[in-house]
Amino acid sequence: MFVDKQKAIKGQWRISERKFFLLAIIGGSVGIMLGMRTFRHKTKHNSFRIGMPVIMIIQIVLMSYHYL
């Protein structure tokens, strides 16, 4: 999130939203959510505001099911 925010400020090539969602799906949802809040980046996008918590909840449910 920090790198993408800096690139946005400078008007440079950006990291695609698809890559952020892929990282979240493979286990980085908590880090992406922390980055969103820490760097105030992508916080106005409904796809991120809703999608990231949904992905994280699904991961928590799957991990709980797996360990129980």
The model's confidence at residue 46, banded by pLDDT at 50, 70 and 90, is: very high
Q: Residue 10's pLDDT is what?
A: 96
Q: What is the mean pLDDT of residues 27-32?
A: 94
The number of distinct structural domains making up the chain is 1
Q: What is the mean pLDDT of residues 31-52?
A: 94
Q: What is the mean pLDDT of residues 44-65?
A: 95
Q: Which domain holds residue 31?
A: 1-67
| pLDDT at 42 exceeding the cut of 90 | yes
What is the token pair recorded at 68? 């129980």
Residue 1 is given by DSSP the state -
Phi, psi of 12 (to 5 degrees): -95, 175
Q: Residue 68's pLDDT is what?
A: 84
Residue bearing tokens 């106005």: 44
Write down the pTM of the prediction: 0.85
